[in-house]
Amino acid sequence: MLRLPFIALANLLLLLRTLLGAPFRLFAASHRPAYVRFRLAGDPPYREQRKPRFSLGGGSRPEPADVTSLERFGESLRLLAKDPKVKGILLEVEELGLPGAKRDAVVALLAEFRAAGKRVVSWAVMVDTDTYPVLCAADEVLLAPMGRLELVGYSAESTALGEGLSRIGIRPQFIRRGDYKTAPELFTHPAVSDIQRRTVESFLDERYATLVDAVSVARRKTPDEVKALIDQGPYSGPRAKAMGLVDALVDEADLPLHLGLVKVEEGKAPEDVEDTELEALDTYLETVPFPPVKWRRMKRKPRLALVPVSGIIVPGKGNAGGRLASTDAVVKALRAAGRDKRSKAVLLYVNSPGGAAIASEQILEAVQRVARKKPVIAYMDRVCASAGYMVALGAKELWSAPHAVVGSIGVFAGKFDTSGLMNLLGIHKTLITRGANAGLLSFSRGFTDGERAALEADIEEMYQSFLGHVAKARGRTKEEIHALAEGRVYSGLRAKDAGLVDKIGGFEEACRYALSLAKVAPGDFELKTYGAAERRMSVLRLLMGAAQPQTYSLCSVSWSLAGQERETLASLADETRWGAWLRELVREARGNPSG
């Protein structure tokens, strides 16, 4: 009750500010823009991030036209759709890094805006294959005259280092459970296996078909015509226009003229017309006599807790600033979400290619504890594989985007025998042990028969435990799950058909469904995030410590599809170059891991 007077006072101040500014906005109403400019770049979040109450500054401020979240973008489009004086929007697209689910959400928002009788004009300088369907969601597609349309389809690269490592005296020794658990093949195979190739091809086929369908509908061409156009890419601006892939070539400075916002007087050349800026939403709001006001609510909005599990899942603690999901951070976030009485439900957002078995089981147990208190829904739009999928099993339901990478139920473990490299470098080590398997983790030699047998038994036990968790969560038998497992990887659509996820949908749908399970009435809600990504970690170091099956299970398909999963794989980037591999291995051989 103490907050009510403060809310009333805040609303009174908002009312006074609105009333005092109304005369100025009425005066400016005659200059209300017919088109409002938005700039869509990077990977804006689904929902607006809550800003800290007290901040010392730092970081770059967004430009006035920047789309800061899909939530805010949708609110802006719905506001503009109601104004009869607004003809439409100009959507400037630049270096998008959106996963498929977010691209679908943007396209849906633009379709809703167009259905209200408004016009969408898209414009870009550089357009890649992933970005082009977003541009095609507009009524008119524009490209800068010097621009490029890199419409070439999709590709993925799989690497095999086995032969190269053997040439420098390194013998990778990995044991896996499941032929489809292909992550160790990066080190053990001289060439990419047929299984890895077929798995990657299945994802490329799905994404390619979706691309062809989107372009075919938007540009009014047959699928065969679109395939032929893709095969002829990339395109310069003039070629793209000649082939009907864009509607016109327009410089940024000429966009107002192209949209009819500037009239060229008789006898004047277009270049002699005074420059006119396309206005952003903030400028538009200055011309609306009574713009929407965010009144302070007497009754708080229902809250949904968001707990991200992003990056490689590892045990222990971590420092902020990277792409790891440490047990300590995620479990603490889950406990906080469970304790928060205002959070009626929890959305577990999983974006992980896998990680440590023991860490994922700890997080799974924490998810299950929270799920006994309030509804928990797991959502995946990029990668939810191996240990990442294990974590998601604690939720009441699993929701996936159509083309997310899902599954990879399997186990591997191993180490690198660097004895050949050490001999080349003139380094001599003597391993002295007490206990038959005490030298299991040593890099100075390979596994003995006894060590290999012990590790194989441990891996089999881990695999059976993994099957048991999945079978219990999905209401199936271990035999049924085994037929779907052994490292097999699925898209969200195929995972739904296989019974590994419950529903295909978008982020907002999953959020609202989670709240509906808590019997929260449909409407606006607040999203509060608990936890964050952790410190960076060398993937090489992670795998070199993988002789224990407690550190297993990365999904190599997500590595190969790096073009589509940049966020998940960015932490791997520095470890895929020969120089980095060799330097790290030499440091290990010299007994100086820190260099």
Catalytic residues: 181, 386
Residue type, 152: V
Q: Which of 105, 108, 93, 118 is nearest to 35 (CA)?
A: 118
Residue whose tokens read 């006072």:
9
Q: What share of the chain is helix, strand, coil (3-state, %, to 5)?
A: 45, 20, 40
Q: Which of 489, 11, 583, 408 is nearest to 204 (CA)?
A: 489
Q: What is the DSSP letter of 274?
A: P
For residues 105 and 70, what is the distance between their CA atoms, to the nearest angstrom? 8
Q: Are 125 and 106 in contact (CB under 8 A)?
A: no
Q: Please, what sign has the CA dihedral across residues 143, 149, 154, 160? A: negative
Residue type, 355: G
Query: 211 vs 132, 167, 261, 564, CA distance in Å?
Result: 9, 42, 34, 13
Q: Are 455 and 175 in contact (CB under 8 A)?
A: yes
- Taking residue 277's Cβ as centre, other Cβ atoms within 10 Å add up to 12
Quote the Cα angle for 494-500-506, to 5°.
Answer: 70
Quote the Cα angle for 499-504-510, to 5°.
Answer: 115
Give the HSE-up count for residue 474: Cα atoms under 13 Å, Cβ half-sphere: 27
Residue type, 127: V
Token digits of residue 210: 């979706």
Pairing verdict, β 320-326 and 534-534: antiparallel
Give the HSE-up count for residue 231: Cα atoms under 13 Å, Cβ half-sphere: 6
Q: Which residues contact 48 (CB under 8 A, 6 or more apart)?
A: 68, 69, 71, 72
Give the HSE-up count for residue 181: Cα atoms under 13 Å, Cβ half-sphere: 24
Token digits of residue 213: 């369908």
Token digits of residue 223: 């699928």
Hey, what's the torsion of the CAs at 165, 168, 169, 173, to 10 degrees? Answer: -10
Token digits of residue 308: 């991200």
Q: Is the peptide bond before 234 cis (omega within 30 degrees of 0)?
A: yes
Cβ-in-10-Å burial (0-12, 13-18, 19+) of 422 comes to buried
